[in-house]
Amino acid sequence: MRVLGIDPGLTRCGVGVVEGALGRPLTMVDVGVIRTSSHLPVAERLVTVEKGIDAWLDEHRPDAVAVERIFARSDSSTIIGTAQASGIALVAAARRGLPVVLHTPSEVKAAVSGSGRADKAQVTAMVTRILQLDAPPKPADAADALALAITHLWRGAAAERLDRAALRAATAPALPARTTHLVTTSRIPRSRP
């Protein structure tokens, strides 16, 4: 399975493609950052992000897309741009009919490092180790995109298996009821002489 991870951002949107399967070694296919200038109007920046994501989808043809779920941070000045970039990523993937999964930052940190409170340096170090890279991916947005793809391959694959099993169980024909033969005995009171 091939997954495109997207760490949305209006100035830097991290993108990373990882290939592999649950329980098998993972391989980095490509990693990068889509950049926009803060001097441009927001609409033009969003078009740049959209074109960049479209190019990654066209070039790498992923089976699924994993996007970081946006949450309100203490710095609300960046949340709107991040949410807008996230929406662009969701639309670009949905337009192609690709499954899209949102993963929270703490879920990603826990998946790659074992701790939902890991810092960026720990996540980057683990991504480097998991993918057996010669050097850590830079900037952090690129490493985060790879971490999203890894998380989906590990957690998303398991969740998809459970969903498929539940669907098969729900749509499977009902088994015929088992017939049990019940043998009863009755006591007939004996008359006493």
Q: What is the pTM of this model?
A: 0.81
Is the pLDDT confidence value at 47 over 70? yes
Query: Is 134 one of the annotated binding-site residues?
Result: no
Q: Is 50 a catalytic residue?
A: no
Position 23 confidence tier, pLDDT thresholds 50, 70, 90: confident
Homologous superfamily (CATH) of 2-171 is Ribonuclease H-like superfamily/Ribonuclease H (3.30.420.10)
Higher-confidence residue of 178 and 110: namely 110
Q: Which of 54, 58, 134, 141 is catalytic?
A: 141
Domain boundaries, the chain: 2-171
Q: Is 68 a catalytic residue?
A: yes
Query: Is 7 one of the annotated binding-site residues?
Result: yes
Q: Is 54 a catalytic residue?
A: no
User: What is d(CA 97, CA 63) in angstroms, rounded to the nearest whole number?
Assistant: 10
Position 182 confidence tier, pLDDT thresholds 50, 70, 90: low
Q: Which of 19, 50, 68, 144 is catalytic?
A: 68
Q: What value, to the nearest 5°, has the Cα angle with vertex 33 and ends 28 and 35?
A: 170
